[in-house]
Amino acid sequence: MNKRFAALTATLLIAGTLAACGQKEEVQPTTPAESTPAPTAPAASPGATPGTTQGEGGSQTAQAEALYKAQCIACHGTDLGGGIGPNLQKAGSRLSEADVKNILLNGKGGMPAFKGTLSDADIQALSAWLAAKK
């Protein structure tokens, strides 16, 4: 009985992980009273990594990290170390930003395409963030 339960649990865990890969996270709309104006992002300094800004973590970096957590973590791991999908810790050392963007838009292997799921700004932020991982 315990072996059957363990096998069933493992099967459900794998199925849930695969189902979560590529799903869009739903965001609850806010009312005007709840919303606050978005702060303007500071300009990138000359030594900044392309696609990021200096200041409080950089708005594109924060955006990319949030997207990664919502869309990619199930397959690529909490530390970008891989799992179902490949290791992304040094993705920028083997892929250009254009390569990463192409993979995000069109998918590759078992990875789904995010062309209709993520906005152009989201794709750009995530591409720049991953390409900076050297």
Give the C-alpha separation, 17 to 110, whole Å.
13
21 labeled part of a ligand binding site: no
Give the C-alpha separation, 80 to 88, whole Å.
5
Structure-block tokens of residue 14: 């794998």
Per-residue pLDDT of the chain (134 residues), as tens digits, is 556 655 445 444 454 444 445 544 444 444 444 444 444 333 333 333 333 334 434 788 999 999 999 999 999 999 999 999 999 999 999 999 999 999 999 999 999 999 999 999 999 999 999 999 99
Which single residue is written with the structure tokens 């992002």? 41
76 labeled part of a ligand binding site: yes
Handedness of CA 119, 83, 110, 131 (dihedral sign): positive
50 labeled part of a ligand binding site: no
Task: Supply angle C-alpha 119, 122, 125, rounded to 5.
Answer: 150
Domain boundary assignment for the chain = 57-134
Task: Supply angle C-alpha 18, 16, 124, rounded to 5.
Answer: 45
Structure-block tokens of residue 95: 């892929």
Main-chain dihedrals φ then ψ at residue 112, nearest 5 degrees:
-75, 160
Closest CA to 72 of 61, 63, 82: 82
Which neighbouring-strand residues pair with 17?
A: none
Specify the pLDDT at position 59: 85
111 labeled part of a ligand binding site: yes
CATH superfamily of 57-134: Cytochrome c-like domain (1.10.760.10)
